[in-house]
Amino acid sequence: MKRLSVAALLTVAALWTGNTALAYDEVEVKDGGQIIGHVKFIGAAPKLAAVKVNKNQDVCGKEKASEAIIVGRDNGVKFAIGYLEKIETGKAIDRKKQTDLDQKKCAFTPHVITMVKGTELATTNSDTVLHNANMDVEGRQMFNFGQPKQNQVIVKRVRKTGQVDITCDSHTHMRSYAMVFEHPYHAVTDETGSFILDNVPPGKYTLKVWHESWKVKGLDDDGRPLYDKPILLTKEVVVPAKGIVHANFELK
Ligand SMILES: [Cu+2]
């Protein structure tokens, strides 16, 4: 009986490591290059209506500015995600890195995050009111937890890849996004609309840019703004050995 369970465990372990090896192999990258991406908005930056606050207005305010698109200096778009569509071999994953998500002044902060599957997400409530994060990956619930106490931190290991829609069950105005990958080549754009993927093995790749979309389609039953489908842009890039390739993306 004991022997059987050990054998079963070994089989599960072999399957697990086998799967991981298939998905992404960590190696020492030789002559790694860099991808510098730029995401720009073409034309006048959209003016988005503020989102109404349904609860705790004494703490959250009556309405919050929409973060669905943030256009900064030189029309750079903040909170887009640049990533390699597919890479099977590359730099090591920092498995100890925790990704922080704060619920602060009734907003998820930062508004967009990226993570590697198998790492931890640390969600904090910095407010004096109850937040209840609801995280769906590709339409299926991944996490759903309430945080009634200020400065409470809940740590969860993320075991699925894909786009994560994050909302708060208490506050219909709160919304943010995460994207979870098998590999470490992804980044969120900064206020200049730039992202950097470094230590990429030289070669040809499909580079993608994701943006949540700012086009409001109406309101759901709870009064949450419904947005158009996220926008995906694609570009083929060739990463030179020890060199840099720039890739420009346009949103309009
Ligand atoms: Cu909330």
For residue 125, report the distance from its CA to the centre of ligand 1, in Å. Answer: 9
Q: How confident is the model at residue 8 (pLDDT cuts 50, 70, 90)?
A: low
Domain count, the chain: 1
DSSP 143-183: EEEEE-STTEEEEEE----EEEEEEESS-TT-EEEEEEESS
35 inside domain:
yes
pLDDT tens digits along 73-84: 899 999 999 999
pLDDT at residue 223, rounded to an integer: 78
Query: 100 has which bridge partners?
Result: 122
- 202 in a structural domain: yes
Which residue type sits at 219?
Answer: L
In a domain, 12, yes or no: no
pLDDT at residue 95, as a whole number: 95
pLDDT given at position 5: 53
Full domain range(s) for residue 34: 29-251
Q: Find the helix or strand (DSSP H, E) in which 60 lies.
A: helix 57-60
Instruction: Report, as an integer, the average pLDDT of 13-26.
Output: 58
Cβ–Cβ < 8 Å for 236, 205:
yes
Residue 181 in domain: yes
Q: What is the mean pLDDT of the chain?
A: 92
Domain assignment present for 79: yes
- The CATH number for 204's domain is 2.60.40.420
Mean pLDDT throughout 29-36? 98
On whether residue 7 sits in a domain, the answer given is no
Angle at 125 between CA 120 and CA 127, to 5 degrees: 165
Q: Report the percentage of the chain scoring pLDDT > 90.
A: 85
Greater pLDDT, 139 or 177 = 177
Per-residue pLDDT at 224: 82
The Å distance, Cα 104 to ligand 1 centre, comes to: 9
* Residue 128 pLDDT greater than 90, yes or no: yes
Give residue 60 CA to ligand 1 midpoint distance, Å: 9
Using a CB cutoff of 5 Å, list residues around ligand 1, an ion: 131, 168, 170-171, 174
Instruction: Give me the pLDDT at residue 11, please.
Output: 46
- Tell how far the Cα of 140 is from the centroid of ligand 1, in angstroms: 20
